[in-house]
Structure 1
């Protein structure tokens, strides 16, 4: 399914986490990013620099407590 980038449904399907750790493996040995992330509706993860991380590279994302 394809949504317009300006569709109101995008706000429902996307999530922003201010303090997160993005891992590439279940053992939490390989960290892909630490900090703010935006999880896009298509599964890609956008980091604060604007770089996108493929859903196939991400094993899981842990939300960290706010400091």
Structure 2
């Protein structure tokens, strides 16, 4: 039996990652609680990776604004 140490999906998951230079991540419907402003990556599983390598859970994030202000 041969077991590979390579991930099953390989680099295919990276195709679903969205990277932005300027986003605003909100924690509430009203947009009053800003969790992050600046660059970030939205991972395929819904988590948001910040430039500091911290992750925001999809449960904590209500909305992500990626467009011009």
TM-score, normalised relative to structure 2: 0.79
Aligned Cα root-mean-square deviation (Å)? 2.0
Residues paired across the two proteins, number: 63
TM-score of the two chains, using structure 1 as the length reference: 0.82
Aligned equivalent of 1:15: 18
| Greater strand share, structure number | 1
CA shift, 1:60, in A, is: 0.8
Which of structures 1 and 2 has the bigger CA Rg? Answer: 2
Q: Which runs of 5+ in 1 are unaligned?
A: none
1:24 paired to 2:20: no
* Unpaired stretches in structure 2, ≥5 consecutive residues: 1-6
- C-alpha offsets along residues 9-59 of structure 1, whole Å, 9 cap, x if unaligned? 222211101100000011100000000010111111001111000000000
- The reply to whether residue 38 of structure 1 matches residue 41 of structure 2 is yes
